[in-house]
Copies of this chain bind each other. A is one copy, B any other.
Amino acid sequence: MKTLHVELGDRRYPIHIGPGLLGRSELLRPHIPGRQALVVSNTTVAPLYLEQTRAALAGLRHEAVILPDGEQYKTLATLDAVFAALLRHRFDRDCTIMALGGGVIGDMAGFAAACYQRGVHFIQIPTTLLAQVDSSVGGKTAVNHPLGKNMIGAFHQPRCVLADTDTLATLPDRELSAGLAEVIKYGLIRDLPFLEWLETNLDALLARETGALSEAIERSCASKAEIVAADERETGERALLNLGHTFGHAIETGAGYGVWLHGEAVAAGMVLAADLSARLGWLSGDQVERIRVLLGRAHLPLAPPPDLSADDFLRLMAVDKKVQDGRLRLILLRGLGQGVIAGDIDPIRLRETLEARR
On A, residues with C-beta under 8 Å from B are: 34-35, 76, 79-80, 83-84, 87-88, 90, 92-94, 114-119, 140, 142, 145, 147-148, 151-155, 318-319, 321, 323-326
The answer on a CB contact under 8 Å between A152 and B83 is yes
20 A-B Cβ contacts within 8 A? A76-B76, A76-B79, A80-B145, A83-B147, A83-B152, A87-B147, A87-B148, A87-B151, A87-B319, A90-B323, A92-B324, A92-B325, A93-B321, A94-B325, A114-B154, A115-B115, A118-B140, A118-B155, A118-B321, A119-B154
The answer on a CB contact under 8 Å between B76 and A80 is yes
The docked-state distance in angstroms from the alpha carbon of A83 to that of B323 is 16
Contacts of A94 in B (CB 8 A): 324-325
- The 8 Å CB contact of A147, one of B35, B88, B142, B324, is B88
The answer on a CB contact under 8 Å between A145 and B35 is no
Given contacts A35-B325, A76-B76, A325-B34, contact A318 B90 (CB under 8 A): yes
How many of these chains are in the complex? 2
Residue of B whose beta carbon sits closest to that of A111: B115
Residue of B whose beta carbon sits closest to that of A155: B118
The docked-state distance in angstroms from the alpha carbon of A83 to that of B94 is 29
The docked-state distance in angstroms from the alpha carbon of A334 to that of B3 is 50
Residue of B whose beta carbon sits closest to that of A315: B90
The answer on a CB contact under 8 Å between A321 and B117 is yes
Distance from A135 Cβ to chain B, minimum over Cβ atoms (Å): 14
The answer on a CB contact under 8 Å between B145 and A83 is yes
Given contacts A76-B76, A76-B80, A325-B34, contact A118 B142 (CB under 8 A): yes
Distance from A249 Cβ to chain B, minimum over Cβ atoms (Å): 12
Contacts of A34 in B (CB 8 A): 325
The answer on a CB contact under 8 Å between A115 and B145 is no
Residue of B whose beta carbon sits closest to that of A118: B153
The docked-state distance in angstroms from the alpha carbon of A92 to that of B92 is 34
The docked-state distance in angstroms from the alpha carbon of A98 to that of B151 is 19
The answer on a CB contact under 8 Å between B87 and A145 is yes
Residue of B whose beta carbon sits closest to that of A114: B154
The docked-state distance in angstroms from the alpha carbon of A325 to that of B151 is 34
